[in-house]
Amino acid sequence: MPVMNIDIQPFIEALNDPDAHIRARAAEILGKLRSEAAIDALVAAMFDDKNRYKFDRGLFFQKNVQDVAVEALLDIGTKTVARVFADLLNHEERAWRTRAVGLLRQLSMRQPELRSEIVHILQLQLQNPELEMRTLAIEALRAIIIEDGISEN
């Protein structure tokens, strides 16, 4: 595919469109463009309450914008994204904390060069006072180290 110089600002602005389908498609495009400059806007879209609800206008997919924004962050897949997901481990909402472990696991699968950093982040969760977080962390670590194969450092 030829490399194009695409201005991402219109897509960032479209993340605030009144229509959920437009917001979702803008997030999807930003993920495929893999621009670090889009990360803050995608994180904001991820937490925007208006993006929690699924939509279906018969236009290809039925998802909520939050999920599309998360997928876009996974597509960008940089150390900055790993830090965003690591920060979610301390989120006030339990659902985000538990989801963060899975997101880090997915990121390690997509970006093997980040595995060591992600392993370290998840190892810290083994000291978490919440049993659920420790359990999720050890299962994710097992998957990364045993199933994906990571060497000792």
What CATH number did the domain enclosing 86 receive?
A: 1.25.10
- Do 106 and 46 reside in the same domain of the chain? no
Buried b (16+ CB within 10 A) or exposed e, 2-29: eeeeeeeeebbebbeeeebeebbbbbbb
- Do 27 and 92 reside in the same domain of the chain? no
- Do 100 and 43 reside in the same domain of the chain? no
Is residue 2 in some structural domain? no
Token reading at 27: 């997030």
- Do 50 and 92 reside in the same domain of the chain? no
Domain range enclosing 36: 7-76
What total of structural domains would you count in the chain?
2
Per-residue pLDDT of the chain (153 residues; tens, 9 = 90+): 445 689 999 999 999 999 888 999 999 999 999 999 999 999 999 998 776 655 555 555 567 889 999 999 999 999 999 999 999 999 999 999 999 999 999 999 999 999 999 999 999 999 999 999 999 999 999 999 987 666 555
Q: pTM of the predicted model, to two decimals?
A: 0.87
- Do 141 and 97 reside in the same domain of the chain? yes
- Do 83 and 144 reside in the same domain of the chain? yes
Helix, strand or coil for residue 64? coil
Return the CA Rg of the chain: 16
